[in-house]
Amino acid sequence: MQKMTVQDIDIKGKKVIIRLDFNVPLDESFHITDERRITSALPTIRYALSNGASKVILMSHLGRPKGTGFEKDFSLLPVANRLQELLKEKVLFLNDCVGPAVREAIAKSSERVVLLENLRFHKEEEKNDPAFAKELASLADVYINDAFGTAHRAHASTAGITAYLPSVAGFLIEKELLYLGNAINNPKRPLVIILGGAKVSDKIELIKNLIPKANSIIIGGGMAYTFLKAQGINVGNSKLEKDKVDMARDLMEQAKKAGVEFALTSDFVITQDFTSDDCKISDVIPDGWQSLDIGPRTIKRYEEILSKAKTVVWNGPLGVFERDAYAKGTRAIADYLASLKDVTVIIGGGDSAAAVAKFGLEDKMTHISTGGGASLEFLEGKELPGIAALNDKK
């Protein structure tokens, strides 16, 4: 961790503005259905309060509003209400994030904690507009970024603001970089990578970056069928990226040359109708059929590989886990990982995290990343703008 953290800077008596990732799912009644991103932010907020910050100003986005003003469906008001309960402290919620009224409300408020309205109600946020970034910076004396989920975006609240304030990382970003960084660059070996999800194209750079680092790579999910096709195996109507078959063949050849075990699905849960739960286990995928999950023999083989691991990084489910008929493979591997002793298990955010949450196994994993796209880009070896912009340690 070469960037300064909140512990490297004096915040006593200062106003701090913290970029958090409160992009939580809401149901039709605006109730939060998964509050992990809120609870993950609490350590940094509480640290700022207990270390004498005169005001703790919180900002985030939620969803994908048009950027033309207030939209009720994307208001952070439900987050403010839940945050107040969790902190056991009054939270002042403002109906905007910039402007004279916002500055005046913060100056006059007796509350120590302030939550600004959705940053993306202003199109200037995603455009990294300097004037908008300067407006946000004018609210505080110190900037803390603890929104790992948006660290791969160069937005006004993640990158632009750092031009105007001392800028440091919060505890969540520090934790994410520690776990993800060590898993890839300094792992206890063997290092086993599990990759799933729909598309090979989403994971090409990731696989390229991991082949020199991994001992074994396990492939599942929709992306597996492009690799199987590259081996000359019939995949029926299964998910297939025809234009990536040659690339898949090249990646397997690279893994072979590097001495990296590359494990693919060998039996399947197949169906003739994607919308149906009527399915069967098969060693082949006939024409007119498609595979939506890994079969029991594949599960057993993957577990044998994982039994030797000391570090596991999992990014992407192994089947259509949202439906019980096709969740058995993902569930079995999640259960197996939860049972391992003295093994570092890191879940790379996104659908992998959603799967682990669905199965109630969150507490059994070493670390679950709060960043889907950010964790993916970090594992690909890319620089994350929101982290690169922070002050370096002296």
**Active-site hit among 199, 297, 323, 358:** 199
Give the C-alpha distances (Å, rounded to integers) separating 23 from 118, 179, 363, 374: 10, 22, 21, 14
* Burial class of 248 by CB neighbour count within 10 A (0 to 12, 13 to 18, 19+): buried
Please provide the DSSP assignment of 190-211 as one string.
Answer: SEEEEE-SS-STTTHHHHHHHT
CA angle 71, 75, 80 (to 5 degrees): 165
37 is a catalytic site residue: yes
CA distance 183 to 190: 11
Sheet holding 261-263, edge to edge: 261-263, 216-219, 191-195, 311-315, 344-347, 367-368
**Helices (H), ranges, the chain:** 36-50, 77-87, 100-108, 123-126, 130-137, 171-185, 204-210, 224-230, 245-258, 296-306, 328-339, 350-358, 372-379, 385-388
360 is a catalytic site residue: no
- Number of Cα atoms under 13 Å in the Cβ half of residue 40: 26
Pair of tokens at residue 156? 């006004």
Q: How far is CA 32 from the centre of its chain?
A: 18
**Active-site hit among 3, 15, 19, 37:** 37
316 is a catalytic site residue: no
**Active-site hit among 127, 373, 381, 382:** 373
Helices 77-87 and 36-50, axial angle in degrees (round to 10) = 60
**Active-site hit among 170, 222, 350, 386:** 350
Pair of tokens at residue 38? 């809120």
Q: Please count the other Cβ atoms lying within 10 Å of the Cβ belonging to residue 243.
A: 10
Pair of tokens at residue 295? 């079969």
Q: Please state whether the peptide bond connecting residue 190 to the residue before it is cis, i.e. omega within 30 degrees of 0.
A: yes
364 is a catalytic site residue: no
Active-site residues, by number, are 37, 199, 350, 373
